[in-house]
Amino acid sequence: MDIDALFKSFKEKKIAVVGDIMLDKYIFGHVSRVSPEYPVPVVEVSHETLRLGGAANVAVNIRAMGTATVLFGVTGQDDNAEALKNLMHEHGLSSEHLFHDPQRQTTCKTRILSQSHHITRVDYESRKAVSEQAENFMEEHLGEVVADLDAIILQDYNKGVLTPALISRVIALASSRNVPVFVDPKLESFFNYSGCTVFKPNLTETASSLGIALNNTDSDIEHACMKLKEKLRCEHLVVTRSEKGLTIYNSRFTHIPAASLDVADVSGAGDTVIGILALGFAAGLDIETCAQVANIAAGTVCQEVGAVPVNPAKLLKACREHFQA
């Protein structure tokens, strides 16, 4: 495989991401004492950062590879929405396909860390289903660009954007244009994605969806995959297995071990996997090779603290070493 030609081809693709977008706020500091008021640590803040999270992080990962990326989602009409839009523009993402609902708050997750260790997290969010007006807005805007798309990613965090109605309409629209659909699910809407191209749950989600206890062994995973694929009628099933890597099931099973890199933080690794899976598939790779590249990409982002987009140069170097070894 010509790795350099593959990475160049990424710049010729266009991918849409539809789902729950978030603003991630990180507060970094140092803990040296316990509060005299309550037995909780006192964090002396050194600095703060804002990052794009959820479906927006998936879009950032794809955009980082030079790929044209279109993001669809819902925000409130608040300060966090403005901060999110500003960050999107910094990353070369348009905010024209965002629906702004004054009745909702923009999802924001604030993480407080001390010496790279998470102390606590504070969430501002709404989990109720978005309005029919928001559904119609996203479907209409997606319909305007679908003819130019090479893939669509549905990124679900159970925050209410991917309603059963919207899921069905997006998959039908994509199918009518032969555009592959990639799904990163959450449990609440798990079986609403029937007919998608690639379905990527993690180990816990797979076990919970089937109502079984699941050990992280190849035989257990294979048994679960057969049951799950029968219910979903997807083309490819990709189960991420944490330190065990991932398993692909289509007409056969393929087990891919985790990338052997130092892990600082797994935040956002799943976003990277689904983004690079879709991008590789759009570039013409088979699903097994896509998964290898995505697995390597996840390994590179896990070396950083917090959700960060994939670094193209670092990924290119890692892929050269892997495929040319």
Q: Sheet of 151-155: strands edge to edge? A: 98-100, 68-75, 14-19, 151-155, 181-184, 198-199, 236-240, 246-249, 253-256
Residues 307 and 264: beta-carbon distance below 8 Å:
no
Residues 73 and 98: beta-carbon distance below 8 Å:
yes
Kindly report, residue by residue over 227-276, the tens digit of the pLDDT: 999 899 899 999 998 888 899 999 899 999 887 555 544 556 789 999 99
HSE, side-chain direction, 13 A CA sphere, residue 72: 29
Threshold 0.75, pTM exceeds? yes
Selecting from 3.20.20.140, 3.40.1190.20, 3.40.50.11260, 3.10.20.740, what CATH number does the domain 3-323 have? 3.40.1190.20
Spatial CA neighbour of 300 closest among 268, 325, 277: 268
Q: Which two tokens stand for residue 2?
A: 């010509």
For the chain, the domains span: 3-323
Q: What are phi and psi for residue 270, nearest 5 degrees?
A: -65, -35
Is 218 one of the catalytic residues? Answer: no
How many C-beta atoms lie closer than 10 Å to residue 128's C-beta?
9
Residues 24, 78, 271, 286: which is the catalytic one? Answer: 271
Q: What is the pLDDT along the chain (325 residues), one digit of tens a residue?
A: 789 999 999 999 999 999 999 999 999 999 999 999 999 999 999 999 999 999 999 999 999 999 999 999 999 999 999 999 999 999 999 999 999 999 999 999 999 999 888 999 999 999 999 999 999 999 999 999 999 999 999 999 999 999 999 999 999 999 999 999 999 999 888 999 999 999 999 999 999 999 998 888 999 999 999 999 989 989 999 999 888 889 999 989 999 988 755 554 455 678 999 999 999 999 999 999 999 999 899 888 876 655 678 889 999 999 999 888 6
DSSP string, 135-181: HHHHHHHHHHHGGG-SEEEEE--SSSSS-HHHHHHHHHHHHHTT--E
